Amino acid sequence: MAYNNIVTDTKGPVGIIRLDRPKALNALCAELFEELAEAVDIFEKDEAIGAIVLTGSEKAFAAGADILEMQPKTYMDVYKANFLTGMEERIDKCRKPVIAAVAGYALGGGCELAMMCDFIIAAENAQFGQPEIKLGTIPGLGGTQRLTRAVGKSKAMEMCLTGRMMGAEEAERAGLVSRIVPLDDLMDEAVKVGTEIAKLSQPIVMMCKESVKKSYETTLTEGLMFERRLFHSTFSTEDQKEGMSAFAEKRSPEFKNR
Ligand code: CAA
């Protein structure tokens, strides 16, 4: 598929989406958002794809929503169009694992897009931030919510109120990223993890993702019950029988996604 702002590719069972709008440091314009949503849809429907890696360039994952596009918009424009909502829902509702491989700037909507993914692998040069306050606005793609849940109130509040950037090491210490890798290894590592996940049972992976996500949105008691019921339901799958039999028989499992 030919796009203007992204490039898609596959590496075995991993779908790769690369944000590719270098003249604006991958700023998230409306067309890019649409293309991204379409690419996620296509990979999600493709049974051969077990995980998706979302990445940008070495200089920028994405430097935020497109400021020049937003600048002339009125309140009525953004309210009536429910600006950004469809995009957020699309990525957030993707049932397959989405890994953000972040190098360079992940600012504003770029940081928020990375946080919408299931986990973030960061290159050593990654810089995260919510600089919207410096533009006279606030994060609008989940920054005040997801960053707070990821790093806690104090750091999220400081980041959102000052707009300062945090580097990869601070982001890893704070729990925003799962790990840091050298810039040159970023895609190999992300694809390697995606491939490992894609070799597992896809429906069980989906259940696991659903259960972890639930912890964001519910009380501990309800979350534990949700997890327990999903756990129970895995016992109705062929893949759970295969996984446990393979362990008992000291061989590798062959999952059938059933
Ligand atoms: N929107 C539109 N264009 C952008 C952009 C953005 N978010 N970020 C960078 N660009 C463009 C610049 O305008 C510039 O274009 P020209 O060459 O045509 O002038 C080009 O990308 C390169 O940028 P710089 O020359 O500024 O590069 P730099 O290396 O000197 O600085 C930077 C890099 C610190 C990331 C700087 O570009 C910057 O501060 N960008 C804006 C970051 C920001 O405020 N993001 C939040 C946006 S609001 C938002 O995202 C709302 C939300 O929550 C949804």
**220-234 and 202-217 are packed helices; what angle lies between their axes, rounded to 10 degrees?**
170
Distance of CA 106 to the CA centre of its chain: 12
> Ligand 1 center to residue 162 CA distance, Å?
17
Helix, strand, coil distribution of the chain in percent, nearest 5: 50, 15, 30
Q: What is the DSSP letter of 64?
A: -
Quote the mean pLDDT of the chain.
Answer: 97
| Interatomic CA distance for residues 213 and 138, integer angstroms | 24
DSSP assignments along 26-62, one per residue: T-B-HHHHHHHHHHHHHHHH-TT--EEEEE--SSEEE
Q: Which of 35, 88, 112, 189 is labelled catalytic? A: 112
DSSP assignments along 81-119, one per residue: TTTTHHHHHHHHT--S-EEEEE-SEEETHHHHHHHHSSE
Confidence (pLDDT) at 247:
97
* Catalytic annotation present for 169: no
Could you identify the residue written with the tokens 């953000």?
Answer: 100
Per-residue pLDDT averaged across 90-104, rounded? 95
Looking at the predicted structure, is the pLDDT value of residue 213 above 90?
yes
Closest CA to 198 of 84, 25, 43: 43
| Interatomic CA distance for residues 158 and 163, integer angstroms | 8
Q: Which residue has the higher pLDDT, 91 or 166?
A: 166
* Catalytic annotation present for 47: no
Q: What 3-state class would DSSP assign to 161?
A: helix
Confidence (pLDDT) at 75:
97
* pLDDT tens for each residue of 151-208: 999 999 999 999 999 999 999 999 999 999 999 999 999 999 999 999 999 999 999 9
CA 104 vs CA 67, 101, 110, 214, 226: distances in Å: 19, 10, 11, 30, 37
CA 44 vs CA 13, 209, 226: distances in Å: 12, 14, 24
* Catalytic annotation present for 65: yes
Q: Which of 132, 142, 198, 243 is labelled catalytic? A: 132
* Ligand 1 atom nearest to CA at 84: 54
* Ligand 1 atom 27, closest CA: 25
Per-residue pLDDT averaged across 213-225, rounded? 95
Q: What is the DSSP letter of 65?
A: B
> Ligand 1 center to residue 87 CA distance, Å?
20
Judge whether 239 and 257 are in contact, CB under 8 Å. Answer: yes
Per-residue pLDDT averaged across 88-99, rounded? 92
> Ligand 1 center to residue 211 CA distance, Å?
36
* pLDDT tens for each residue of 54-72: 999 999 999 999 999 999 9
* pLDDT tens for each residue of 1-45: 789 999 999 999 999 999 999 999 999 999 999 999 999 999 999
Name the token pair of 140: 């609008």
- List ligand 1's pocket residues with C-beta within 6 A: 24-25, 27, 63-68, 84, 105, 107-109, 112, 131-132, 135, 139-141, 143
Judge whether 96 and 206 are in contact, CB under 8 Å. Answer: yes
